[in-house]
């Protein structure tokens, strides 16, 4: 009996160790996704995306982050890294030390989408 319990506990812990990392993405997950998206974009689309990001309201402080990515690097590398960082912006804006940015932009429903569905006759319905 004890062996069965121990075996069950081992299997449960093993399965749990694979499930836990899937609950949320961290900075690396967001940036990796952005990197893949960036690599799939054509140069004209990249330019439009960067232009759109830099046109954000001043209190969003996106241009501040862009300014931080200088330092003798190519403009293409700077834009790519800025784009990757902006994939983490919904996490960055949770920082309460920047009160205006937090108040204006830290909305949990901007960071994720709750979607519910059900199965009916083997098909997914909203």
Looking at the domain assignment, is residue 4 inside a domain? no
Number of structural domains in the chain? 1
Looking at the domain assignment, is residue 50 inside a domain? yes
Q: Is the pTM of this model over 0.75?
A: no
- Residues facing residue 123 across a β-bridge: 120
Domain encompassing residue 120? 25-125
Looking at the domain assignment, is residue 18 inside a domain? no
Looking at the domain assignment, is residue 2 inside a domain? no
Q: What is the pLDDT of residue 82?
A: 92
Q: What is the pLDDT of residue 122?
A: 80
- The answer to whether 43 and 96 have CB atoms below 8 angstroms apart is no
Q: What DSSP string runs through 71-83? A: SS--HHHHHHHHH
Looking at the domain assignment, is residue 55 inside a domain? yes
Looking at the domain assignment, is residue 9 inside a domain? no
Q: What is the pLDDT of residue 117?
A: 74
Q: What is the pLDDT of residue 97?
A: 76
Looking at the domain assignment, is residue 6 inside a domain? no
User: What does the DSSP 8-state code read for residue 96?
Assistant: T
Give the residue from 85, 82, 86 showing the smallest Cα distance to 69.
Answer: 82
Looking at the domain assignment, is residue 30 inside a domain? yes
Residues of the chain with pLDDT under 50: none
């Amino acid at each position: 009996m004890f062996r069965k319990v121990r075996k069950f506990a081992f299997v449960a812990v093993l399965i749990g160790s694979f499930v836990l990392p899937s609950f949320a993405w961290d900075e690396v997950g967001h940036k990796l996704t952005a990197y893949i998206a960036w690599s799939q974009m054509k140069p004209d689309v990249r330019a439009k995306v960067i232009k759109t990001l830099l046109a954000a309201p001043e209190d969003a402080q996106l241009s501040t982050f862009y300014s931080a990515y200088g330092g003798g690097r190519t403009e293409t590398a700077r834009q790519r890294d800025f784009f990757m960082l902006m994939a983490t912006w919904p996490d960055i804006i949770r920082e309460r030390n920047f009160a205006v940015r937090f108040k204006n932009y830290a909305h949990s429903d901007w960071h994720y989408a709750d979607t519910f569905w059900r199965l009916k006759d083997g098909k997914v319905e909203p």
